[in-house]
């Protein structure tokens, strides 16, 4: 049985700074030597430090992360990693910014574990539904704009399906301009031109 406290931090590009996450883990008393950090770039999702961490986890250990989305790039993957850590490894998970997502219970109380799993499923469902609604609203907006004679793209093609979502992430400063261009596969002038158009067609 293990009794180690580990922490994991992830940023989605080399330009982003992991300091905020690392400070939160340190404030939770995670030893510096037990904090693992991955930096990604573009669409690359190799996580060598996370893989090392999971291999180290033993039953009774605790893994702390600042936010639930640090566990995966989408919510299907988050649920799978949650299962591996809590069920296969027998370790606990603590999500620092969501107190309900804390599987630590005295004597491994099954009710507490069930509640944490249920909360995770609900959050996953809400996030997935919101992503689908964003795509639906975008498609409806583009259709309405086309009906009014608005053309998109260099040859009138629709915008990339994740264009509005990526624009909003960029505006919230979650990703840099360079990363947004890589995700969408478009040039800088195209990016700025149609980021303004999005506001006009949102319904």
Query: How many Å apart are CA 68 and CA 86, to the nearest integer?
Result: 14
Which neighbouring-strand residues pair with 35?
A: 7
Pick the closest to residue 49 from 79, 16, 8 (CA basis). 8
Query: How many Å apart are CA 87 and CA 104, to the nearest integer?
Result: 13
Catalytic position from the list 12, 13, 41, 124: 12
Rg over alpha carbons for the chain, rounded to the nearest Å, is 20
12 catalytic per annotation: yes
Is the CB of residue 32 less than 8 Å from the CB of residue 26? yes
Residue 134's Cβ-count burial label (10 Å; 0-12, 13-18, 19+) is middle
Query: How many Å apart are CA 188 and CA 27, to the nearest integer?
Result: 40
Catalytic residues: 12
């Amino acid at each position: 049985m293990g009794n180690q406290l580990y922490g994991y931090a992830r940023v989605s590009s080399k330009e982003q700074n992991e300091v905020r996450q690392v400070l939160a883990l340190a404030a939770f008393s995670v030893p510096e030597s037990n904090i693992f950090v991955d930096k990604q770039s573009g669409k690359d999702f190799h996580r060598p430090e996370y893989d090392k961490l999971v291999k180290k986890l033993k039953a009774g250990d605790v893994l702390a992360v600042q936010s639930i989305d640090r566990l995966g790039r989408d919510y299907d993957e988050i649920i799978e990693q949650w299962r591996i850590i809590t069920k296969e490894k027998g370790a606990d998970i603590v999500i620092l910014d969501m107190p309900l997502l804390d599987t630590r219970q005295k004597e491994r109380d099954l009710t507490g574990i069930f509640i944490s799993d249920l909360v995770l499923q609900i959050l996953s469902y809400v996030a997935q539904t919101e992503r689908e609604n964003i795509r639906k609203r975008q498609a409806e907006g583009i259709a309405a704009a086309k009906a009014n004679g608005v053309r998109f793209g260099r040859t009138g093609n629709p915008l990339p399906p994740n264009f509005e979502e990526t624009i909003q992430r960029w505006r919230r400063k979650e990703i840099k301009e360079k990363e947004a261009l890589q995700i969408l596969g478009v040039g800088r002038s195209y990016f700025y031109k149609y980021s303004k158009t999005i506001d006009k067609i949102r319904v």
